[in-house]
Amino acid sequence: MKKTILILTIILLMGQIMGQQPAEQKVLTKDERMAWWREARFGMFIHWGVYAIPAGVWNGREIGGIGEWIMNRGKIPVRDYMEMAKQFNPVKYDPDAWVQMAKDAGMKYIIITAKHHDGFALFKSEASKWNVVDHTVYGKDLLKPLAEACQRHGIKLGFYYSQAQDWVNPGGSAARKLTKEGWPNPDSVIIDAYTKEHNGHWDPAQETRTFAQYIDEVAVPQVRELLTNYGKVAVLWWDTPTGMTDEAATKLQALLALQPEIITNDRLKRPNFPGDHKTPEQRIPNLADLDGTDWETCMTMNNTWGYKSYDHNYKSPQTLIRNLIDIASKGGNFLLNVGPTAEGEFPPESVEILREIGKWMKVNGEAIYGTTASPWGLFDWGRCTKKTTKNGTTFYFSVFNWPQNGKLTIDNFTGKVTSAKLMATGATVKTSLTGKTLNISLPPSSPDPIATVIKVEVIGGKNK
C-alpha cells in the first residue's frame, strides 16, 4: 500500500513538473550535460550563512571544528541561534565583485550554500520563515542578485542544498559526529542513530515534526523554489544524506526535471543515488582510487568552510595551484571554497589567494580547461594534462621541480613533436626523441616558481 502511495505521489509530482516543462524539451545525455563541467575544471564553493556572525565563538567560547557547524558543535538551543540570526545584515555584500573575483581567478562556476545544515535559507522561501528575507534585518534575497551577476559574467551558478540535515526546521536530521572527510561517523551505533527519528537532536524544538514531514514541508518545496525562481541552475550540490530514505531521495530527485541540463553530485543518498560526479572532500584521490567516474575535489583554503574569525591557517597559492594541476592531471575538477564574513566580504586572505591563482591561470589556464588526464600518470618533477585537437594532441607538462641538469625525459612517448614552448615566456624549447623517450631541454632556471608549463604539440602517436 505504502509503495503504491509513493508511486502515485511520484507520478503526481512528475506530472506537476512536466506540466511546467516546454513540450519540446530535448532529453540530454549525461555527456551533453557534463560537457561544460569537464571543460570548466575549476569552480568556487561559497559557504555563507548566519554562522558567519558568531564566526566560531559562542558565549565567549571558541567552538571547535568547522565554522558552519557551530550550532551543532555548540549544542546551541534553536531559540538562541534564531535570535542571533536576526542581526544578519551583510551590508557589504557585492555579488558582482564576488563573481568578478571568481572569474579573475579562472573559476568557471560557483556553488553557494542556499541552505546549509542550520536550515537558514539565503533566499525567500514560502516553505519556512527561517530565511534571510523573513527573519533578518537585511530582509533581501541573496541568491537573486548573485544569479544575475553570474549571468552577466558568463559564470555558471549552482546551489548547495542540505537536503536531510536541518537543525532548525523541525524534523530535519542532525548528524552527531563527522569523520575527517566530514561524513557522519560510519560507526554502526551512530548510523543506527540516524535511522531513528530525531537521534542527534539536542533541542525539543527540533522534534515537533517527523523527518518525512520535514522532507515534504521544507526540503521538497525549497528545492522546487531554487530550481524555479533563479533562472538556469547548473548544479544541485546535495550534502550529508543523514537519515535519508529512498522515498525522500526519490521525491527530491524528481524535482531535477525542472532543470533538464542540471548536474548533481553523489550525496543525495548513497549508494543508490550516484548522481553525476563523486565528491572527494579535502583530499585529492590517488590514481588507483579512480574508476572513470567524474569527480570533483572540494577543499577549503584554510580549515573551515564557513567563516571563523580566528582561522588564519590558509594554504599557499603554490599549494592550491599545484592541487589544481594535480587534480586536472587525474581528470578531476577542483571546487575551492571561500567563506564570506557576516558583512558580506571575502576574507582578505582569500582575496589575495584568488588574485595569485588568477595570475597563474591567466598565463596557463589552457593547461587546465578542457584537458583530460595524463597518459603517463604522475611525474616526480610535476604533472601532465592533455588536450586532443583536430591536428593531434597537445600535452601540457607542468614542472614543479625544475631539473638541475636542464633536461626532462618522458618515456613511452610516440608521435611527432611539431612545437614545444614555455607558456610563461613563449620561448621555444628543444626536443628530441631517443627511441620512445622524449627529451626536452630547458633553460637553467624555471620562469615560474610555482609551476612552469611546457606546451608540446604532437601529431600521430598513441599516447593514450
DSSP letter assigned to residue 255: G
Report whether 126 contacts 225 (CB < 8 A).
Answer: yes
Nearer to ligand FHN, 346 or 379 (CB): 346
Candidate residues 48, 55, 63, 68; the one interacting with ligand FHN per rule CB under 6 A: 68
Comparing every residue's Cβ against ligand FHN, the nearest one is: 182
Q: Please count the other Cβ atoms lying within 10 Å of the Cβ belonging to residue 90.
A: 21
Beta-carbon contacts of 203 under 8 Å, excluding residues fewer than 6 positions away, are 77, 78
Distance (Å, rounded) from C-alpha 454 to C-alpha 406?
A: 13
Question: Cα separations (Å) of 320 from 272, 325, 326, 356, 434?
Answer: 33, 9, 10, 10, 35
Does 305 bind ligand FHN (CB under 6 A)? Our answer is yes
Distance (Å, rounded) from C-alpha 171 to C-alpha 173?
A: 6
Instruction: Report 333-392 residues binding ligand FHN (CB under 6 A).
Output: none
Q: 246-254 and 220-228 helices cross at what angle (nearest 10)?
A: 20
Distance (Å, rounded) from C-alpha 317 to C-alpha 321?
A: 6
Rounded to 5, what percent of the chain is helix, strand, coil?
35, 20, 45
Does 77 bind ligand FHN (CB under 6 A)? Our answer is no
CB of 161 to ligand FHN, least distance (A): 11
Does 311 bind ligand FHN (CB under 6 A)? Our answer is no
Stretch that binds ligand FHN, among 28-36, 63-71, 97-105, 338-346 (CB under 6 A): 63-71
Place of cell 524528481: 254
CB of 290 to ligand FHN, least distance (A): 19
Candidate residues 36, 183, 369, 376; the one interacting with ligand FHN per rule CB under 6 A: 183
Question: Cα separations (Å) of 67 from 32, 60, 101, 216?
Answer: 37, 15, 23, 28
Name the H helices within 182-312.
Answer: 188-195, 211-214, 220-228, 246-254
Instruction: Report 190-229 residues binding ligand FHN (CB under 6 A).
Output: none
Instruction: Report 267-286 residues binding ligand FHN (CB under 6 A).
Output: 281
Best CA proximity match to 386, nearest among 41, 30, 7: 41
Does 461 bind ligand FHN (CB under 6 A)? Our answer is no
Does 174 bind ligand FHN (CB under 6 A)? Our answer is no
Size of the residue set binding ligand FHN (CB under 6 A)? 10
Candidate residues 65, 77, 145, 182; the one interacting with ligand FHN per rule CB under 6 A: 182
CB of 453 to ligand FHN, least distance (A): 29
Candidate residues 46, 50, 63, 66; the one interacting with ligand FHN per rule CB under 6 A: 66
Does 118 bind ligand FHN (CB under 6 A)? Our answer is no
CB of 182 to ligand FHN, least distance (A): 3
Distance (Å, rounded) from C-alpha 164 to C-alpha 162?
A: 6
CB of 265 to ligand FHN, least distance (A): 9
CB of 424 to ligand FHN, least distance (A): 33
Report whether 298 contacts 45 (CB < 8 A).
Answer: yes
- Site mask for ligand FHN (CB under 6 A), range 237-266, x = bound: --xx--------------------------
Nearer to ligand FHN, 183 or 369 (CB): 183
Residues that bind ligand FHN (CB under 6 A): 66, 68-69, 182-183, 239-240, 281, 298, 305
